[in-house]
Amino acid sequence: MNVGLLGNKIGMTQIFDESGNIIPITILKVGPCIITQIKTTLKDGYNSIQIGYGNVSNKSLNQPQLGHLQKSNIQSLKYLKEFQINEIEEFEIGQVLKVDTFSPGQLVNIRGKSIGKGFSGLQKRHNFTRGPMSHGSKNHRAPGSIGMGTTPGRVLPGKKMAGQLGNKMTTIKKLKVIQINEEENILVIKGSVPGKPGNLLSIVPSE
């Protein structure tokens, strides 16, 4: 895995390319992120880089979180995320990673929490087909039978049923970087990303 960055979703809009085609885009506020810890195989059993994002006051963090950051003489940060990598020699604690680590045309994987849609039925949640809508039918959007009789005499785990839809971590892979604004730390991505505006996202170069 490559070292990625953390950011927030600003919103969606559209732009036009040279041929006049409409491109749907998502605008992200990415970084700057600070390297807060470097783990090595010798000390921790694996190589990884931990980055922090989002300046907050000391009152927003508890004592273990403050102590972890103050040990490296780094300001209070709201979010921490770790990325396992092979080569850690080119990084150092306190190093600032900005949006210029990406380049236009590059493909990235974006991970975040999807929009929560509450308790949803089978048609919306699992794309089940409904029952007949004709007169006399009493099965329109009902789940129907969920068991298999005496054997096994129970409902097997993983049965597709109604329940909470969304509000879980999801990844959208190989999204194309359209533009980069280094002054404002803005990243413009082709397509949509998980969550509502303001949602915390992890942006990692696609392997």
Is the model's pLDDT at 60 over the cut of 90?
A: no
Helix (H) or strand (E) holding 11: strand 5-16
Question: Do 195 and 109 have their domain in common?
Answer: yes
CA-based nearest residue to 103, from 187, 23, 172: 187
pLDDT tens readout for residues 28-43 = 999 799 999 888 888 8
Asked which of 97, 126, 147 is the last residue of a domain, the reply is 97
Question: Do 106 and 194 have their domain in common?
Answer: yes
Is the model's pLDDT at 25 over the cut of 70?
A: yes
Task: Assess if residue 148 is contained within a domain.
Answer: no
Is the model's pLDDT at 112 over the cut of 70?
A: yes
Answer yes or no: are the C-beta atoms of 74 and 36 closer than 8 Å: yes
Instruction: Tell me the Cα Rg of the chain.
Output: 23
Query: Alpha-carbon distance 199 to 131, whole Å?
Result: 37
pLDDT tens readout for residues 145-169 = 898 889 888 999 999 999 999 999 9
pLDDT of residue 1: 60
Question: Do 92 and 38 have their domain in common?
Answer: yes
Q: How many residues does the chain have?
A: 207
Task: Assess if residue 112 is contained within a domain.
Answer: yes
Question: Do 183 and 173 have their domain in common?
Answer: yes
Question: Do 110 and 165 have their domain in common?
Answer: yes
Domain that holds residue 69: 33-97
Query: Alpha-carbon distance 17 to 154, whole Å?
Result: 56
Q: What's the whole-model pTM score?
A: 0.83
